[in-house]
Amino acid sequence: MPSPILEVRDLCVDYVTNSGDVRAVDHVDLTVEAGEFLAIVGESGCGKSTLLFAIAQLLSPPAEISGGSVIFKGNDMVQLSPSELRHMRWRDYSVVMQSAMNALNPMKSIEAQFKDAMAAHGNMSAEAMRNRSAEVLKLVGVDAVHLRSYPHQLSGGMRQRAMIAMALLFTPDLVIMDEPTSALDVVAQRSLMIQIKELQDRLGFAVIFVTHDMSLVSHYSARLAVMYGGQIAEAARTASLFEKPLHPYSVGLLDAFPSIHGPRRVLTGIPGSPPDLARPPAGCRFQPRCPQAMPECAVRQPGLYSVGDSMVRCLLYEAAQPGRPE
Amino acid sequence: MTAETRSLIDPQATATAADAAEPLLRTVDLTRHFHLGGILSKQTLHAVDDVSVSIAEREIVALVGESGSGKSTVARLLAMAYKPTRGEIYYRGRSVHSFHSRKDLLWYRGQVPMVFQDPYSSINPVFRVSHGVMRNLQLHRPNLGAAQRREEAARVFDVVGLTPSTDMLRKFPYEMSGGQRQRVGFAQALAVQPRLILADEPVSMLDVSIRAGILNLMVDLRERESVSILYITHDIASARYVADRIIVMYAGHVVETGPADVVLARSKHPYTQLLLSAVPDPREPISVSASPTIGEPPRVVNPTEGCRFRWRCPVAVEECSRVTPRLRTLGPAHSAACHVATADPA
Domain boundary among B133, B166, B193: B193
Residue B10, domain member (yes or no): no
- The residue among A216, A146, A220, A134 whose CA lies nearest residue A179 is A216
Cα(A312)–Cα(A250) distance, integer angstroms:
10
Residue B289, domain member (yes or no): no
Query: What CATH number should be reported for the domain holding residue B204?
Result: 3.40.50.300
- Chain B segment 108-137 residues within 8 A of A by beta carbon are none
Which residues does residue B254 pair with via DSSP β-bridges, in sequence order? B249
Contacts of B269 in chain A (CB under 8 A): none
Residue B108, domain member (yes or no): no
Partner-chain contact A269 B213, CB within 8 Å? yes
What ipTM did this prediction achieve? 0.77
- Chain A segment 138-177 residues within 8 A of B by beta carbon are 141, 155-157
Cα(B340)–Cα(B225) distance, integer angstroms:
42
How confident is the model over B82-116, as pLDDT tens digits?
999 999 999 999 999 888 889 899 999 999 999 98
For the CA atoms of B232, B238, B242, B243, what is the dihedral angle to 10 degrees? Answer: 60
How confident is the model over B10-35, as pLDDT tens digits?
444 444 444 457 899 999 999 999 88
Contacts of A261 in chain B (CB under 8 A): 281, 283-284
Q: Domain check: are B38 and B171 in the same one? A: no
Cα(A4)–Cα(A224) distance, integer angstroms:
16
- The residue among A195, A198, A243 whose CA lies nearest residue A218 is A243
What confidence score (pLDDT) does residue B9 get? 42
Partner-chain contact B296 A157, CB within 8 Å? yes
Q: Domain check: are B149 and B72 in the same one? A: no
A·B CB contacts under 8 A: 126
Contacts of B209 in chain A (CB under 8 A): 43, 252-253, 256, 269-270
Structural domain count of chain B:
2
Q: Measured between CB atoms, does B297 come within 8 Å of chain A?
A: yes
| A194 Cα to chain B: minimum distance (Å) | 7
Q: Measured between CB atoms, does A44 come within 8 Å of chain B?
A: yes
Residue B3, domain member (yes or no): no
Q: Domain check: are B311 and B240 in the same one? A: yes
pLDDT in tens, chain B (346 residues): 444 444 434 444 444 444 457 899 999 999 999 888 777 778 888 889 999 999 999 999 999 988 778 888 999 999 999 999 999 999 999 999 888 889 899 999 999 999 988 888 888 999 999 999 999 999 999 999 999 999 999 999 988 888 888 889 999 998 888 888 899 999 999 999 999 999 998 888 888 888 888 899 999 999 988 999 999 998 888 999 999 999 999 989 999 999 999 999 999 999 999 888 888 776 665 555 444 445 666 767 888 888 988 888 888 899 998 999 999 999 899 999 999 988 877 6
Cα(B338)–Cα(B324) distance, integer angstroms:
9
Q: Domain check: are B246 and B314 in the same one? A: yes
| B200 Cα to chain A: minimum distance (Å) | 16
Question: Which among B210, B284, B293 has CB closest to A261?
Answer: B284
Partner-chain contact B280 A215, CB within 8 Å? yes
Q: Domain check: are B128 and B275 in the same one? A: no
| B285 Cα to chain A: minimum distance (Å) | 8
Which residues, 6+ apart, have CB-to-CB distance to B51 below 8 Å? B27, B29, B30, B31, B70, B74, B87, B249, B252, B253, B254
Q: Is residue A239 a contact partner of residue B283, using CB atoms and an 8 Å limit?
A: no
Q: Closest residue of B to A289, CA-based? A: B209
Domain boundary among B168, B193, B218: B193
Q: Domain check: are B127 and B226 in the same one? A: no
Partner-chain contact A190 B282, CB within 8 Å? no
Cα(A16)–Cα(A177) distance, integer angstroms:
26
How confident is the model over A13-30, as pLDDT tens digits?
988 888 888 888 989 999
Domain boundary among B193, B212, B227: B193
How confident is the model over A208-245, as pLDDT tens digits?
999 888 888 888 888 999 999 889 999 999 888 888 89
Which residues, 6+ apart, have CB-to-CB distance to B205 below 8 Å? B117, B118, B119, B120, B178
Partner-chain contact A187 B296, CB within 8 Å? yes
Q: Domain check: are B261 and B147 in the same one? A: no
Q: Closest residue of A to B278, CA-based? A: A187
Partner-chain contact A260 B264, CB within 8 Å? yes
Question: Which among B67, B238, B292 has CB closest to A185?
Answer: B67
pTM of the model: 0.83
Residue B15, domain member (yes or no): no
Q: Closest residue of A to B213, CA-based? A: A269
Partner-chain contact B208 A214, CB within 8 Å? yes
Q: Is residue B246 a contact partner of residue B263, using CB atoms and an 8 Å limit?
A: yes
CA diameter of chain B: 67
Which residues does residue A20 pair with via DSSP β-bridges, in sequence order? A17
Which residues, 6+ apart, have CB-to-CB distance to B249 below 8 Å? B51, B63, B64, B65, B69, B70, B71, B74, B255
Question: Which among B276, B281, B294 has CB closest to A215?
Answer: B281
Partner-chain contact A186 B179, CB within 8 Å? no
| B131 Cα to chain A: minimum distance (Å) | 24
Q: Domain check: are B215 and B269 in the same one? A: yes
What confidence score (pLDDT) does residue B187 get? 92
Q: Closest residue of A to B162, CA-based? A: A272
Helices (H), chain B: 11-15, 71-78, 102-111, 130-140, 146-159, 165-169, 178-191, 208-225, 236-242, 260-265, 270-278
Residue B288, domain member (yes or no): no
Give the domain extent around B315: 21-95+198-280+300-346
